[in-house]
Amino acid sequence: MLTLPSCLSLHRRTALLGAVGLLVLPAAPLRAAAPSQAWPRTLVVPGGVAQLPLGPGTVRPVAHLRQGEHDVPLLVVGDALEWTALVGIALATAPGPAQITVRAADGSTRTVTFAVAPKRYSEQRLKVAPGTVDLSPEDQARFEHERAHQAQVMATFSTPLPAALAMQVPVPGRRSSSFGLRRVFNGQARNPHSGMDIAAPTGTPVTAPLPGRVIDVGDYFFNGNTVWLDHGGGLLTMYCHLSATDVQPGDVLQTSQRLGAVGATGRVTGPHLHWGVMLNRTMVDPALFLAA
Assess whether 30 and 89 both reside in one domain: no
Question: Is position 2 within any domain?
Answer: no
Assess whether 224 and 190 both reside in one domain: yes
Question: Is position 204 within any domain?
Answer: yes
pLDDT of residue 192: 82
Assess whether 191 and 252 both reside in one domain: yes
Task: Provide the whole-model pTM.
Answer: 0.84
**What single string gives the DSSP state of each residue in 183-210?**
EEETTEE-PPP-SEEEE--TT-EEE-SS
Q: Is 250 exposed, middle or buried (0-12, 13-18, 19+ CB in 10 A)?
A: exposed
Domain boundary among 65, 99, 116: 116
pLDDT tens-digit map of 236-248 = 999 999 999 999 9
CATH of the domain at 125: 2.70.70.10
pLDDT of residue 35: 33
Assess whether 186 and 269 both reside in one domain: yes
Q: Which amino acid is at 228?
A: W
pLDDT of residue 29: 40
Domain boundary among 81, 96, 116: 116
Q: Domain range spanning residue 24?
A: 13-38+119-289
**Which stretches within 103-239 are classed as H helix?**
137-154
Tell me 141's DSSP state.
H
CATH of the domain at 93: 2.60.40.1590
CA distance 152 to 67: 16
Assess whether 143 and 71 both reside in one domain: no
In 3D space, the residue among 180, 243, 255, 253 whose CA is nearest the CA of residue 210 turns out to be 255
Assess whether 180 and 224 both reside in one domain: yes
pLDDT of residue 262: 98
Domain boundary among 116, 137, 153: 116
Bridge partners, residue 176, by sequence: 26
CA distance 205 to 247: 13
Assess whether 80 and 25 both reside in one domain: no
In 3D space, the residue among 8, 19, 40 whose CA is nearest the CA of residue 164 turns out to be 40
Question: Is position 8 within any domain?
Answer: no
CA 286 distance to own-chain centroid: 7
| pLDDT-flagged residues of the chain (< 70) | 1-38, 126-133, 177, 185-189, 292
Assess whether 159 and 230 both reside in one domain: yes
Question: Is position 1 within any domain?
Answer: no
Question: Is position 30 within any domain?
Answer: yes
Size (the chain), residues: 292
Assess whether 103 and 155 both reside in one domain: no
Assess whether 223 and 252 both reside in one domain: yes
Beta strands 123-126; 182-185: pairing state:
parallel
Q: In what order do the strands lie in the sheet with 244-245?
A: 205-207, 258-261, 244-245
Assess whether 107 and 198 both reside in one domain: no
Assess whether 185 and 242 both reside in one domain: yes
Q: Are 151 and 10 in contact (CB under 8 A)?
A: yes
Question: Is position 3 within any domain?
Answer: no
Question: Is position 4 within any domain?
Answer: no
Question: Is position 273 within any domain?
Answer: yes
Please work out, in degrees rounded to the nearest 5, the angle formed at the alpha carbon of residue 87 by the alpha carbons of 226 and 260.
15
How many domains does the chain fold into?
2
Cβ count near 1 (within 10 Å): 10
Beta carbons within 8 Å of 129's beta carbon, 6+ residues apart: none
